[in-house]
Amino acid sequence: MSHQQEDGAEHLGEENMMKYVEDDMEIQSVNREKSYYVDYDEDDFSYRKLLDTTAAQARKGKDIQGISWDRINVTRESYRQTRLEQYTNNENIPHSEDILGKVTEKGYSFYEFRRNSRSVKPTILHFQLRNMVWATSKHDAYFMSNFSVMHWSSLTCTSSKILNVSGHVAPSENHFGSVSEGLTQTRVSTLAVKDNLLIAGGFQGELICKHLDEPGVRFCTRTSYDENAITNSIEIYASPNGAVHFTVSNNDCGIRDFDVEKFQLSKHFCFPWAVNHTSLSPDGKLLLVVGDNPESMLVDSQNGTTVAALSGHLDFSFASAWNPDGVTFATGNQDKTCRIWDMRNLSKSVEVLKGNLGAIRSIRYTFDGRYMAIAEPADFVHLYEVKSGYENEQEIDFFGEISGISFSPDDESLFIGVCDRTYGSLLEYGWHQNVKCEED
């Protein structure tokens, strides 16, 4: 991944912004992916809450993001067209996006809009890393907002600060390898939350581990002191014997596995390129590895030996996910595509799904395997029905950079973090029991 980092309080979209302003209404056009940091007054939470949009208001015609198009000298349709024409996708390999994707049937409504909460402001610090939103239940979501990990409750429509890393953070327990003196001003590059465990990864290889039901943090460490040790992704999982582990992917070309009981490093695999994301197969035997190489890899999770190389993408990959069936899996790339692979024939991908604006930065399957969601860097989240061969699609269309997407463990909710100085928010969708095609 790129070594580019966030510089001070640099705002996304300040370069080459298009502004349509009337009565202080502002929409920002982002012409390239960058880091994103929001400078806002936390005391204006109550005011921002008034700007939230509910499902009932949306049904009556209110824009889900609260954008008053009738007060702006541009229509939503024309602005959308401008975004499609002017948004510049980040490429490490030129012309990699010149590829065709599967023709899908759009217009389905697998998940319906519930609420847009502008009272919260998700943020990202690296333009290529978008795993900053995690749901632990259909009512609870966690996300980064500047230097804080925040919790959002859709039941009470309130947010609370879970962890602040702007100052000094020290571990409450002594474990081998822990940085006992703690860490200061950790710039969080990636996040993972599952069940009762929260892990934040930093730009200098930092790891901060916290149990949600306990004060303070349990463990702090630096996985590497390499000058290029950015923590790119973290996956929390339960091993076959029930022990909780987490896998960390770093820009120093390493994958490290830690056990949670003693926070000890149990495995360390090295690769010839930066590892941007990994996903463990449902049976725990295989690791899907993607990074700064057009080829992805399947490796043995116990010893790191290569099982298969996966060819097809044309640029670097930043997202991966296994279908819970354990047979198929997906990879997301800067060539604007998500490829679906089948373990029974790895010679080529079985499906190629293409985005509208840019790279596929996040991929999530529902826990029952019925749907798959992919997120572009901005504006679009695509939902596919797996049993239709990924042909039936719901396209969620909004404006703003995407900090992350997450299904709740019961598949009832889908949360989407939207980064924008004016219209930043947390979008919430709920499973639509009577799935229909909106064009019917």
Do the beta carbons of residue 275 and residue 285 sit within 8 Å? Answer: no
Q: Do 439 and 107 form a contact (C-beta atoms < 8 A)?
A: yes
What phi and psi, each to the nearest 5 degrees, are found at residue 6? -70, 140
pLDDT score at 19? 39
Asked if 232 contacts 274 with a C-beta cutoff of 8 angstroms, the reply is yes
Residue 154 has a pLDDT of 95
pLDDT at 255: 98
Q: What is the pLDDT of residue 219?
A: 95
Q: Give the pLDDT of residue 434.
A: 66
Cα dihedral 329, 334, 335, 341, rounded to 10, equals -10
Give pTM, 2 decimals: 0.91
Closest CA to 363 of 335, 383, 386: 383
* Domains within the chain, CATH numbers bracketed: 42-437 (2.130.10.10)
The 3-state DSSP composition of the chain as helix, strand, coil percent (nearest 5) reads 5, 45, 45
Averaged over successive runs of 10 residues, the pLDDT of the chain (440 residues) comes to: 47 33 36 47 55 94 94 93 93 85 95 96 95 98 97 96 95 88 95 97 96 95 91 96 96 97 95 98 97 98 97 97 98 97 97 97 98 98 98 98 98 97 95 65
CA–CA distance, 333 with 315 (Å, rounded to integer):
6
Percent of the chain surpassing pLDDT 90? 79
Report strand pairing: 105-106 vs 392-407: parallel
Q: In the prediction, which pLDDT does 23 show? A: 33
